[in-house]
Amino acid sequence: MCAAFVCTVLLTLAIDEDNRACHLAAEVPYWAPLPDVVSGHRAAATALRAAAEDRAAIAALARDRPTCSSAHIAINYLNGANA
């Protein structure tokens, strides 16, 4: 339940960042370059989505291996030893 809540919050924040980027981009004429802040908001949205996917994957691993501690699973997953 906790991992699902964190994933939901992260995805909500990602949507907010995408919306900020869209609104800022819409204010710029099509022939003008976009301000760097638009790319920043898009990058933040991408990072937030990746974090949500990582938490979902870690939660799935924790469900698959209930005898392992969550911290141990997280460390192994982040180090690439998720097999």
Q: Which two tokens mark 35? A: 């301000």
pTM given for the model: 0.69
Answer positive or negative: Cα dihedral of 74, 76, 80, 83.
negative
Q: Where are the domains of the chain?
A: 2-78
% of the chain residues with pLDDT over 90: 48
φ/ψ of 34, rounded to 5, equals -75, 145
Q: What is the pLDDT of residues 2-35, one digit of tens each?
A: 777 888 888 999 999 999 999 999 999 999 999 9
Side-chain half-sphere exposure of 9, counting CA atoms within 13 A = 7
pLDDT top residue among 74 and 57:
57
